[in-house]
């Protein structure tokens, strides 16, 4: 089976014996839990669209490993065209779900690990690359969701891993055996981990020799012994437990994060892709971060499309769509959103082939893309709230709206333009609230700031990639300065 349907994906999650905790209790059935299920539905869309002929070109690709048609989320980029299609696919899925659809981090991990393992093998004569490609072929053949895991808790940020008061604040190798390794530690902010079949771990920072036990990359199933998850809270998350769907804003789809604990997890050698090659940790981080910063030029733009559409519709329902300042604000929202998309396409089109054959984005432009993402969605959200008005956060509940006595007053006094149902207006206002303040704001705003690294991380790479000396030479040449 190379391509699953959305329903087959959902059913496959039931076959795991995964350990998930929420609100201090174990979740016995994560698949049908009302808080978790919307995020599963979002992942399922990556399967559903792949099976629709009109989206096949974006959502699938021909595997360079097996020659079969596979979901693009499991594909190794073989050209700049693949890189461009990735961004277009992400925008489409953002448009279809209005939330984070959770498979990007795994795809970005595949492509970064593929090229780095090849280069490790070239230097040390190891066999990580062969192991990794065998693992990826298995993932492609079974169309599995893999969560990439890079971010460690880090503890005292001023200290390297080996100097922490608690050595487990960065995930590390605690035992090396004949048949594999044992690891202990945690990964934080794990988007979609509870909805994944496997987790693919990477180091989180560049390292020195004294930190070599922390330079590790491997994959294990999400129901591996010693692995468990503490579900992360989101704003307004318990609205998913309520009856009705208006107050949820986006009732069908949602995002997900979790604190992931590795409590002495065993990893067989065939699933180990880096083991103490500390000198390659920084390269792996840089490449993964580059791919993931490219991703934001697609996914956040698609979600932005939904928010812009909701805002334009609310302006219409409020009767202000013809006001010049409303038109200007909507145009500014579009301008900012398309600028992000332009950056995502540009860093893809300017990509290049790595030694393993996998294509890498232009690192400078990918970091410019993500630095813009740390700003523009916040301005888009501000403008959406400006246009929507204060009713967005003062609406009575859906229970009041459905109440046999109170409902007629909500219906009467929250009417906008005559002829447009009050319920339609309420639904759009709740959607904007959800996307800018509620559950979806995690994926659209906070993730825009901190996902794939906080703003300073982009600035560091931009400074390194900017080639200031070359720019000086251009100026010197024009004015006749010899250097």
**Tokens representing 309?**
């559409």
- Spot the catalytic one: 74, 97, 292, 369: 292
CA-nearest of 109, 105, 62 to 85 is 62
Q: Is 100 a catalytic residue?
A: yes
Q: Is 33 a catalytic residue?
A: no
Q: Is 369 a catalytic residue?
A: no
Per-residue CA distances from 352 to 47, 59, 77, 283, 339 (Å): 28, 22, 10, 16, 22
Q: Is 275 a catalytic residue?
A: no
Distance CA 159, CA 371 (A): 26
- Spot the catalytic one: 9, 214, 291, 296: 296
- Spot the catalytic one: 46, 74, 97, 104: 104
Q: Is 260 a catalytic residue?
A: no
Task: Collapse the DSSP code of 454 into the 3-class scheme (helix H, G, I; strand E, B; otherwise coil) and give the result.
Answer: coil
Q: Is 296 a catalytic residue?
A: yes
Distance CA 410, CA 93 (A): 34
- Spot the catalytic one: 299, 343, 347, 369: 299
Alpha helices in 49-166 (DSSP H): 56-59, 80-97, 104-124, 128-142
Q: Is 236 a catalytic residue?
A: no
Q: Is 117 a catalytic residue?
A: no
What is the dihedral sign for C-alpha 439, 441, 447, 450? negative
- Spot the catalytic one: 119, 257, 398, 433: 257
Task: Collapse the DSSP code of 168 into the 3-class scheme (helix H, G, I; strand E, B; otherwise coil) and give the result.
Answer: helix
Angle, alpha carbons 121-127-129 (nearest 5°): 75
* 74 annotated as a binding-site residue: no
**Tokens representing 29?**
């059935």
CA-nearest of 9, 19, 119 to 73 is 9
Annotated binding-site members for FAD: 191
Q: Which residues are designated catalytic? A: 100, 104, 191, 257, 292, 296, 299, 447
Annotated binding-site members: 191
């Amino acid at each position: 089976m190379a391509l699953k349907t959305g329903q087959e994906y959902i059913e496959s999650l039931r076959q795991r014996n995964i350990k998930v905790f929420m609100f201090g209790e174990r979740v016995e059935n994560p698949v049908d839990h009302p808080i978790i299920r919307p995020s599963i539905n979002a992942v399922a869309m990556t399967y559903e669209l792949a099976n629709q002929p009109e989206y096949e070109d974006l959502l699938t690709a021909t595997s360079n490993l097996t020659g079969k048609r596979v979901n693009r989320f499991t594909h190794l980029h073989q050209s700049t065209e693949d890189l461009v299609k990735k961004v277009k696919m992400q925008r489409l899925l953002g448009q279809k779900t209005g939330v984070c659809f959770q498979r990007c981090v795994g795809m970005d991990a595949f492509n970064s690990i593929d090229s780095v393992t090849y280069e490790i093998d070239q230097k040390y004569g190891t066999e990580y690359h062969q192991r990794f490609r065998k693992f990826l072929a298995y993932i492609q053949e079974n169309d599995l969701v893999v969560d990439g895991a890079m971010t460690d808790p880090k503890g005292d940020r001023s200290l390297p891993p080996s100097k922490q008061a608690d050595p487990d604040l960065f995930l590390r190798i605690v035992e090396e055996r004949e048949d594999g390794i044992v690891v202990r530690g945690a990964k934080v902010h794990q988007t979609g981990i509870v909805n994944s079949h496997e987790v693919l771990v990477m180091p989180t920072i560049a390292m020195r020799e004294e930190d070599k036990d922390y330079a590790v990359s491997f994959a294990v199933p999400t129901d591996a012994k010693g692995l468990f998850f503490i579900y992360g809270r989101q704003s307004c998350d318990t609205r998913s437990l309520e009856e009705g769907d208006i107050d949820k804003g986006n009732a069908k789809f949602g995002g997900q994060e979790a604190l992931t604990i590795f409590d002495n997890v065993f990893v067989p050698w065939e699933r180990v892709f880096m083991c103490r090659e500390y000198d390659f940790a920084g390269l792996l981080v840089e490449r993964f971060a580059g791919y993931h910063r490219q991703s934001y030029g697609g996914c956040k733009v698609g979600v932005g499309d939904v928010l812009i559409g909701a805002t334009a519709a609310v302006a219409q329902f409020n009767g202000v769509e013809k006001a010049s300042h409303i038109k200007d604000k909507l145009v500014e929202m579009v301008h900012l959103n398309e600028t992000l998309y332009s950056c995502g396409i540009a860093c893809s089109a300017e990509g290049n082939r790595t030694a393993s054959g996998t294509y890498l984005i232009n690192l400078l432009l990918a970091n410019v893309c993500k630095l813009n993402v740390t700003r523009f969605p916040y301005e888009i959200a501000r403008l959406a709230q400006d246009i929507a008005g204060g009713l967005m956060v003062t609406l009575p509940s859906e229970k009041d709206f459905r109440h046999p006595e109170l409902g007629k007053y909500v219906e009467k006094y929250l009417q906008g333009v005559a002829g447009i149902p009050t319920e339609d207006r309420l639904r759009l206002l709740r959607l904007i609230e959800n996307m800018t303040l509620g559950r979806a704001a995690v994926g659209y705003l906070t993730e825009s700031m901190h996902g794939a690294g906080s703003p300073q991380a982009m600035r560091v790479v931009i400074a390194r990639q900017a080639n200031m000396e070359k720019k000086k030479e251009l100026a010197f040449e024009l004015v006749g300065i010899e250097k």
